[in-house]
Structure formats: structure tokens, C-alpha cells
Amino acid sequence: MNFQNLTIQSEVRNFATLNPQIAIKTFKKLNIDFCCRGTKPLNVVCSEKGLDPNEVLNQLNRSSSNETFSNQKNWNSLSSQELIENILVNHHQKMKDLLPELTQMMTKVLKAHGQKHPELHDLSKELKALRDELEPHLMKEEAILFPMIQNLENDGFAAKKALKNMHIPIKVMTEQHEDLGNLLRGIRKLTGNFSIPDDACNTLTYLYKKLEALENDLLIHTHKENNILFSKVLIRQKIATQIS
């Protein structure tokens, strides 16, 4: 799907929602935050980064015209229920498996290479901070926010009342996404953009690759929540307020 209806004034998140396949790849390459800071217009983000917004827009359009239709992912067309299931299966479960595995690998490489690579100590602290923030975050979404969103599908007074206050838990989760984004940036910096050291053993190589995979996954996960799932609830809340 191309971006012909979007301009350099459009919000970055709209590109990622319309054609995640192309937009996410391009934004990642240009280090443009499309999930936590996705409400910024493309031209503003580009001027902050010293990029030419028209060139970035051309790049997005060129890439989308080469894209095959079968590769397209349209998370935006899913219902809230379907999107929540998609997030739980593809991201929450993945994180619950990956975080203990990464902690174990980190302990191992720190023991073996901590002396020669002092940056691994800071990396270990950053990873621990990410895990300490991310695990309770997943739990809160599963136990509180996702069931609240699912209940909005019910008719009646309780659902209407719940919709009125939805911006409160959404704000909390969005702020946590921002904190997680900062921790991810810290990990990227400490690993020198995931550049594997020349003398890395297999475990260290694997750890760096897994950390990069974690970043990729968490960016898409956050995009699905901030820019699609939560955004739709907030639009619905706004419309309900205007009607009443």
C-alpha cells in the first residue's frame, strides 16, 4: 500500500499504521521513533535529525511501489479483540520466554568476558532495568488494560462508564512505553548499535543478536499498542464525549 494520501505534515505513526512493512524498515534505518513519539509530523522529525522530509517521503513511496501485495500486514484492520490476541501471542509470550534467556546469557558472558569488556557491566544493569520494567508492564496490560478494552465491546451502562476513564490507564501504559524506549536506546548505545566485538565468543554473539531481536520486537509491539489499539479507544472515547 503506498503513502499517496500522506504528506510531510502527516504524523509518523500514520505511515507505520498504513504500511508497517515499509515504514518500519525505513524508519528504523533512519533512527526515527515511530512508536513512542509517533505523533510527531514527518517534517518535524526530519528537521530534528537533519534529514530532508521530501527525500524521506520519496524513499517511502519508492519502497512501497516495489512491494509485493502478499507481504503486507494490516494490523489496523483487526478488531480490538483480534489485535489483543495478536499482541499476546506474538509479543507478550515471546518476551516472557526471551527475558529469562537473555538474563542467563548475560550472566554467563559477564563472568567470562566482564574483565576484558567492562561495558558489559553497564549492559547487564540496563538489561536488568528493562526486565524489571517490562515484566510488570506485560502483567498490568494482561490483567487490567486489555480486559477493560475487551469489555468495551459489551453494550450497556458499565461499558459506557468504563470508556469515559480509559485515557487514565492508557496514559500510564504509554508512559511506561516511553521508559522502555529509553532503556532500549541505552542498550543500543552500550552495544554500539549491536556491533559484535571482534573477539566475541558464540554466547556473546548470540546475546547481541538476541538483544537486537528484542528491540525489533518491542518496537512493533509498542506500535501496535500506542498507534493502533490505544489510539482507536481514545478516538472512540472522544466521539462518545462529543455525542453525550
Pattern 51-90, Fe ion, x by CB under 5 A: ----------------------------------------
Helices assigned H by DSSP within the chain: 12-18, 20-29, 42-49, 53-65, 80-87, 93-113, 119-140, 146-151, 157-164, 167-190, 202-222, 231-243
| Number of residues this chain uses to bind Fe ion (CB under 5 A) | 2
Cα 233 to Cα 231: distance, rounded to the nearest angstrom: 5
Segment interacting with Fe ion (CB under 5 A) among 31-39, 60-68, 140-148, 192-200? 140-148
Dihedrals phi, psi of 201, to nearest 5 degrees: -80, 180
Closer to Fe ion by Cβ: residue 95 or 207: 95
Identify which range of 59-67, 96-104, 133-141, 206-214 contacts Fe ion by CB under 5 A: 133-141
Residue 83 Cβ, how far from Fe ion at the closest point, in Å? 11
Task: Name the nearest CA neighbour of 225 among 32, 41, 29, 34.
Answer: 34
The stretch near Fe ion (CB under 5 A) out of 7-15, 107-115, 125-133, 138-146 is 138-146
Residue 4's Cβ-side half-sphere holds a number of Cα atoms within 13 Å equal to: 3
Interface region with Fe ion, contact rule CB under 5 A, candidates 18-26, 73-81, 141-149, 211-219: 141-149
Binding track over 166-205 against Fe ion, x by CB under 5 A: ----------------------------------------
- Tell me how far, at minimum, the Cβ of 25 lies from Fe ion, in Å: 22
Q: Find the shortest distance in angstroms from Cβ 85 to Fe ion.
A: 12
Q: Which is nearer to Fe ion, 126 or 141 (CB)?
A: 141
In the complex, minimum distance from the CB of residue 143 to Fe ion, in angstroms, rounded to a whole number? 12
Among 11, 33, 126, 141, binds Fe ion (CB under 5 A): 141
Closer residue to Fe ion, CB minimum distance, 124 or 174: 174
- Between 33 and 141, name the residue whose CB sits nearer to Fe ion: 141
Please name the residue that has the C-alpha cell 520486537.
217
Q: Return the exposure string of 213-239: e unless at least 16 CB atoms fall within 10 Å of the residue's CB, then b.
A: ebbeebbbbbbbbbbbbbbbbbeebee
Q: Is 41 helix (H, G, I), strand (E, B) or coil?
A: strand
Interacting positions 221-240 with Fe ion (CB under 5 A): 225
- The rounded distance, in Å, linking the Cα atoms of 235 and 244 is 14
Contact call for residues 164 and 73 (beta carbons, < 8 A): no
Under the rule (CB under 5 A), what is the footprint of Fe ion? 141, 225
